[in-house]
Amino acid sequence: METQAIAKYVRISPLKVNYICAEIRGKSVDEALSILKFTNKRGAHELYKVLHSAVANAENNLNLDRDDLYVKNAYANDGPTMKRFRPKAKGMAYPILKRSSHIGVVVAEREWGGREWVKK
């Protein structure tokens, strides 16, 4: 069983968040939460909240055990980009792109495959 949580329209570039997503992908939930807690990036705080919400969804809605959960997928997709302009020399305008992102985390339950846990 798997469940997900998504945070939409977060005002941070998806490129910055995807670097942090790569760090937690495939890790157990408790390990991923501790990595995010001690990562000194703004995107880590947003990703921590989304992962915490996905774990709560799994526990409350599907009655899954927290110890069996792992991060199956973590991603940050492009959200809408706000276009702003800064005045420059000789009456020109310089574009400024303020990017946003949709951050999603999918957590799944590990299956017991004989001698070891198997990610399904």
Predicted confidence at residue 72, as pLDDT, reads: 94
Contact 75, 21 (CB under 8 A): yes
Q: Angle 29-37/14-24 helices, nearest 10 degrees?
A: 130
- Per-chain mean pLDDT for the chain: 92
pLDDT tens-digit series, residues 54-108 = 999 999 999 999 998 999 999 999 999 999 999 999 999 999 999 999 999 999 9
Burial of 18 (0-12, 13-18, 19+ CB in 10 A): middle
DSSP 8-state code for residue 41: S
Q: How many CB atoms are located within 10 Å of the residue 14 CB?
A: 19
pLDDT at 120: 60
Which domains, ranges and CATH numbers included, belong to the chain?
A: 2-111 (3.90.470.10)
pTM of model > 0.75: yes
